[in-house]
Amino acid sequence: MLSRTVLSLALAGLAGRTGGAAPPVDQQYLFEARQMQALSLSVHIPLVCFGIAFPVMILYAEWRSLRSGDGLYRTLARRWSKIMLALFAVGVVTGTILSFELGLLWPVWIQDFGNVFGLGFTLEGFSFFVEAIFIGIYVYGWDRLSPRLHFLSGLPIAVAGVTGSFFVISVNAWMNHPTGFTLSDGRAVDAHPWSALFANPFFWSEYVHMYFAAYIVCGFLMAGAYAWAYLRGRRGRYERTALGICLSAASVAAPAEGVVGDWAARDVAKYQPVKLAAMEGLPATTRGAAEHLLGWYNGHAVVYGIEIPRLLSLLAFHNPNAVVKGLDIVPLADQPPVNVVRFAFQIMVDVGALLALLGVIYLFIRFRRRRLPEVTWFYWAVIAAGPLSVVALIAGWITTEVGRQPWIVYDVMRVDAAVTGAHDIPVGYGALCLVYLGLAGAVFWLLRRFSRVPLPVDDEPPGGSGAG
Amino acid sequence: MLADVPMVFILVGITAYTVLSGADFGAGLWTLIPGGGQTDAATTRDHTRHSIGPVWEANHVWLIFILTVAWTCYPVAFGSIVSTLSIPLFIAAVGIIFRGTTYAMRSQLERGEGRGVRLVENLFALSSVLTPFALATVIGAIATGRVPVGNARGNLITSWLNPVSILAGVLAVAFSGYLAAVYLAADARRLAERSLVHDFRIRALASGVAAGALALAGLLVVRAEGAQTRALWHGLTSGAGLAMVCLCALAGVLTMILVWLNRFGLARASAALAVAAVIAGWAAAQSPRLLPGLTVRQAAADPATLTATIIGVAVGAVVLVPSLTLLYTLVLRGRLDTGGSSGGGDPFVSSRETAAKVTARPMRPAAAAFAVASLVVGVGLMVFAGPVWAAGVGALLLLACAVTVFALATSPPAG
Ligand code: HDD
Ligand code: HEM
Ligand code: HEM
């Protein structure tokens, strides 16, 4: 086609690129750009967890109030919905930063591959539309919509939480296992976005894993607040009910997360062997590979760790004698930083195991004794579990994203080929750090305000004090 | 043809964003200068804040829509634009953070809380001015052809700090203030707040005159800038571009008359028409050029991507249009208004009596059996299954188990 030839000429203007692997610009601030991207994602992702899980928990409470006529559940749902709205506002703005930033920092990535993965973001946009529209109706409609209608107006929020994360994760899965296009002169042509995003075998484990993680994070963080209240002597029916819902949501998700994580690990072993080798610190391709707990990778092997023979082969391929590929299948320049990936992975798994244990303990007591646990350490553990689950969440993403290095599109485009040529990155990075610090302060302040609104007077109009 | 459709989506998105979110930004402007009317400053600010409450987040999503369609369908142009215009875009992004966060915070503060309130309010107002300004300088830069194709090939400063861009920025601020005043007057009418109606009517008239004058000045600046903007000037003064400029002027004057006559509802519509006309005029003036040396068709992605996006947007619209209609209908009918309604809340005490109804039920054995079965089969499938679909079924069973256990665990009220 003629227009294609013209386009190639125009593209030749893209700073002397010579195919996918050559760095087209000399960006001395690549490291800062990556840090900046990671920072913004780490700020956004805990809020996303609330976007996914919180509407469901709130609707559950409202549904209980509809069924039983118990005003307590309605109060609960109503108070939570105000927190949801405020966190949603922060999720909206941090997400907007991300959509700017992906373009600002990695324009060549969008230029060359936006035609393949962009659809995921476009569809995600519609989910956000639905979420934002109905969150407005739900939170501002408590007084003037009939109870049933009000409940129904909340359902689209929950659905949009599912679909929104579905579409975003599909993009990330594509970056990790890119398919559905032909590579020509370093850019994607002949793109098939539907199959690239949604027929991607790497996608499903990643999505399900994230979905459960959202309930763990949201559940334990909320439960932590009520556990704190419990320890300070606020143990009324309201606090106990709230604690029960939050803790139950997190406790059923936490043990399940380990099973899904095993599935995710096998997908990594299949599609990204180098990442798996980095997660495990496996220098060379090995039959019957051992698993190492803790320790340090010194460039040749894991030292000072606890070695469990053949366990890695068993976990990754369900066969103690399976061959696991090592880092040496690619040159050193194509290997991710092993210790970062490995520590992040171990932190996630160890924290995950602790959280699963805590969840099982809770469910056990709940079903055996038909009540909340009474020992103090349990409540301290729940308070700790909130921040810890965020740590696991971020650690998991560091495993995924740093483990993909040096590729932005795995095995197709390197990060240094994707980065912007603009030289204002450090200024932006510094400014963004300050902005996020302020944001963190604001969120903390907001949540404290919410927890201090006195309980029995819930008859204020929703916009009066709680709506954000 | 196919290559132009997503551009139409983008233009519709820009129009919607300007008309809807523009008014939300403009509301921020009026909290910065709330004085001078019959109503006191605090009441004016409260009115402004309450009326954007239920809608500003939904309105904001148009920006996300514009960005994602642009980077999917015109990736080369998008990459060039964001890399050259990284500074104003970054400013806009920071402004967006500040506005959203301070809005959430202000809603948590009582009027009387002194200095903190003032600080939060000022941050909210300033970011509401800064963001439309920065975004409009981006439009100015594109319209005057200052973004060359390539990775940060344009001048990082003068591409957006030039007379046309700056004027576009100021115009955007004035125009959003104007839109906001019209909407706020209409909302005040609905709430039967006489003096607020009076104030915002005057503000609308004043800012309308300012916006009109700035628009005229803008045309003169485009003309005066010479070589750089010759193509734009030519486009705006001939053919479809000229027609749109005239339509905009007509709609602008009509809006002023309607505001004068207190017909705020109709004024909303004609103000939206004026915005649509400006944007269409800009598109006509620039068409078919997107960036210097790059036409819309050359910039477009493969047909498969364009088709996928068009299908995606069409399906999305089926969901979106009824949802938006519902939201705005509820808002315009006052169903989402705050304040005034006292009896609606649910006094917590009422739960005492109802609590008795919820007697502790024994754990249902059938549910427990289902939970165990789905756990075993689900985990089995996920751990040992080969194909993705089997693992997916396993995941669904695991989810079913989680939901059942959750229901059991929360069923008789805890404790
Ligand atoms: C609360 C959070 C949380 C918890 C408790 C766990 N994970 Fe996780 N994990 C995540 C949160 C997370 C995550 C942040 O959501 C990641 C990043 C990317 C993704 O999709 O999920 C992730 C990624 C991730 C990956 C990498 C997938 C990839 O590279 O694409 C593996 C192999 C695991 N996880 C495995 C596990 C195992 C075996 C766990 C055992 C207990 C575990 N995770 C607990
Ligand atoms: C679906 C969503 C996501 C997308 C599309 C995405 C995309 C990207 C992109 C484009 C980069 C820059 C290129 C690179 O360094 O490889 C990146 C890096 C990174 N991302 Fe993600 N990301 C997503 C989710 C996340 C989340 C939620 C986190 C949470 C912490 C995260 C953590 C990181 C880190 C740590 C890096 C830097 C890696 C490095 O430079 O070593 N990502 N991501
Ligand atoms: C890297 C890429 C990402 C980008 C560009 C991005 C973009 C956005 C944007 C623009 C919003 C605000 C929507 C609005 O205006 O209403 C948002 C919120 C949200 N994002 Fe992200 N996001 C990214 C990563 C993620 C990830 C990894 C997930 C999910 C797992 C996710 C899920 C959500 C959800 C559920 C919301 C709704 C807001 C909330 O409920 O707090 N996003 N995101």
**Domain coordinates in residue numbering, chain B:** 2-303, 361-410
In angstroms, the separation between the Cα of residue A3 and the nearest Cα of chain B is 6
Q: Which amino acid is at A105?
A: L
Nearest-ligand number for the alpha carbon of A214: 1
Residue of A nearest to B135 (CA): A100
- 8 Å CB contact of A90 and B86: no
Summarize pLDDT for A332-370 with one digit per residue, the tens.
778 888 888 888 998 999 999 999 999 999 988 888 777
What tokens appear for A296 in the block? 């340090």
Summarize pLDDT for A240-274 with one digit per residue, the tens.
888 889 999 999 899 889 888 888 888 888 888 88
pLDDT at A11 (0 to 100):
41
What average pLDDT does the segment A375-399 reach?
91
pLDDT at A455 (0 to 100):
60
Are the CB atoms for B16 and B62 separated by under 8 Å? yes
Are the CB atoms for B316 and A126 separated by under 8 Å? yes
What tokens appear for B309 in the block? 């996006």
State whether the beta carbon of A209 lies less than 6 angstroms from ligand 1: yes
The model's confidence at residue B396, banded by pLDDT at 50, 70 and 90, is: confident
Please provide the DSSP assignment of A296-334 as one string: EE-SSSEES-EEETTHHHHHHHS-TT-EE--GGGS-GGG
Q: Which amino acid is at A177?
A: H
What average pLDDT does the segment A206-234 reach?
90
Token pair 């320049």 in the structure block, residue: A333
- Least confident piece of the model among A158-167, A381-390, B101-110: B101-110
In angstroms, the separation between the Cα of residue A43 and the nearest Cα of chain B is 12
Let me know the angle formed at the C-alpha of A226 by A221 and A230, rounded to the nearest 5 degrees. 140
Summarize pLDDT for B326-375 with one digit per residue, the tens.
887 777 776 776 654 333 344 443 344 444 344 445 557 777 777 887 88
- Least confident piece of the model among A102-106, B89-93, B123-127: A102-106
pLDDT at A250 (0 to 100):
92
Let me know the angle formed at the C-alpha of B27 by B24 and B28, rounded to the nearest 5 degrees. 100
pLDDT at A215 (0 to 100):
94
pLDDT at A55 (0 to 100):
94
Interface test with B, best of A11, A92, A216, A423 (most B CBs within 10 A): A92
Within an 8 Å CB–CB cutoff, is residue A238 touching chain B?
yes
Residue list, ligand 3 pocket, CB within 6 Å: A 41, 44-45, 47-48, 50-52, 87-88, 91-92, 95-96, 98-99, 102, 128, 131-132, 161, 164-165, 168-169, 210; B 57, 60-61, 64
- Per the DSSP assignment, residues forming a β-bridge with A209 are none
> What φ, ψ does residue B251 adopt, rounded to 5°?
-60, -35
Summarize pLDDT for B192-236 with one digit per residue, the tens.
777 777 788 888 888 888 888 888 888 887 777 766 677 777 777
pLDDT at A100 (0 to 100):
80
Q: How far is CA B174 from the centre of its chain?
A: 17
Q: In this model, does residue A18 exceed pLDDT 50?
A: no
pLDDT at A457 (0 to 100):
41
What tokens appear for A223 in the block? 């439960």
The model's confidence at residue A219, banded by pLDDT at 50, 70 and 90, is: very high
What average pLDDT does the segment A100-128 reach?
81
pLDDT at A149 (0 to 100):
84
Which of A73, A51, A44 has the alpha carbon at shortest distance from A61?
A73
Most confidently modeled of A8-22, A124-138, A424-438? A124-138
Summarize pLDDT for A69-87 with one digit per residue, the tens.
777 888 888 888 888 888 8
Q: What one-character DSSP code corresponds to residue B229?
A: G
What tokens appear for A280 in the block? 């495990």
- 8 Å CB contact of A133 and B324: yes
Cα A397 to ligand 2 centroid, rounded to whole Å: 7
At a CB cut-off of 8 Å and minimum separation 6, what does B64 contact?
A95, A96, A99, A125, A128
**3-state SS, residue A189:** strand
d(CA B196, CA B47): 8
Q: In this model, does residue A463 exceed pLDDT 90?
A: no
pLDDT at B340 (0 to 100):
40
The model's confidence at residue A330, banded by pLDDT at 50, 70 and 90, is: confident
H runs (alpha helix) in A13-146 = 30-68, 71-105, 107-140
d(CA B102, CA B120): 6
The model's confidence at residue A389, banded by pLDDT at 50, 70 and 90, is: very high
pLDDT at A179 (0 to 100):
83
Within an 8 Å CB–CB cutoff, is residue A183 touching chain B?
no
d(CA A213, CA A216): 5
3-state secondary structure B185-212: HHHHHHCCCHHHHHHHHHHHHHHHHHHH
Mean pLDDT rounded to a whole number for chain B:
77
pLDDT at B187 (0 to 100):
79
The model's confidence at residue A462, banded by pLDDT at 50, 70 and 90, is: very low
Percent of chain A with pLDDT over 70: 90
Q: How far is CA A319 from the centre of its chain?
A: 30
Measured over the CA atoms of residue B133, residue B139, residue B142 and residue B145, the dihedral's sign is negative
Mean pLDDT rounded to a whole number for chain A:
80
pLDDT at B363 (0 to 100):
56
In angstroms, the separation between the Cα of residue B126 and the nearest Cα of chain A is 15
Are the CB atoms for B77 and B7 separated by under 8 Å? no
State whether the beta carbon of A170 lies less than 6 angstroms from ligand 1: no
d(CA A463, CA B89): 31
B388 chain-A contacts, CB cut-off 8 A: 201, 204
A263 chain-B contacts, CB cut-off 8 A: 382-383, 391, 395
Interface test with B, best of A5, A26, A60, A111 (most B CBs within 10 A): A111
What average pLDDT does the segment A11-21 reach?
36
- Per the DSSP assignment, residues forming a β-bridge with A292 are A307
User: Hey, which of A41, A113, A389 would you mutate to test ligand 2's pocket, going by the most ligand atoms within 8 Å of its Cβ?
Assistant: A41
Summarize pLDDT for B100-132 with one digit per residue, the tens.
888 877 777 665 566 667 777 788 888 888 888
d(CA A209, CA A207): 5
Q: Which amino acid is at A3?
A: S
Q: Which residue has the higher pLDDT, A354 or A412?
A: A354
- Least confident piece of the model among B144-153, B254-263, B401-410: B144-153
Within an 8 Å CB–CB cutoff, is residue B373 touching chain A?
no
Report the atom number in ligand 2 closest to the C-alpha of A337.
41
B93 chain-A contacts, CB cut-off 8 A: 96-97, 100-101
- Per the DSSP assignment, residues forming a β-bridge with B289 are B295
Summarize pLDDT for A270-308 with one digit per residue, the tens.
888 888 888 887 777 877 777 777 877 777 777 777 777
Percent of chain A with pLDDT over 90: 17
- Per the DSSP assignment, residues forming a β-bridge with A303 are A296
What average pLDDT does the segment B237-248 reach?
80
The model's confidence at residue A318, banded by pLDDT at 50, 70 and 90, is: confident
pLDDT at B349 (0 to 100):
39
pLDDT at B37 (0 to 100):
67
Q: In this model, does residue A214 exceed pLDDT 80?
A: yes
> What φ, ψ does residue A291 adopt, rounded to 5°?
-100, 140
Let me know the angle formed at the C-alpha of A220 by A216 and A225, rounded to the nearest 5 degrees. 160
- In this structure, the residue with its CA closest to atom 24 of ligand 3 is A168
At a CB cut-off of 8 Å and minimum separation 6, what does B114 contact?
none
A137 chain-B contacts, CB cut-off 8 A: 54, 326-327, 330, 336
User: What is the dotted CATH code of the domain comprising B2-303?
Assistant: 1.20.1630
Summarize pLDDT for B303-318 with one digit per residue, the tens.
777 777 788 888 888 8
d(CA A207, CA B59): 28
Summarize pLDDT for A24-75 with one digit per residue, the tens.
566 667 778 888 888 889 989 999 999 999 999 999 988 888 888 777 888 8
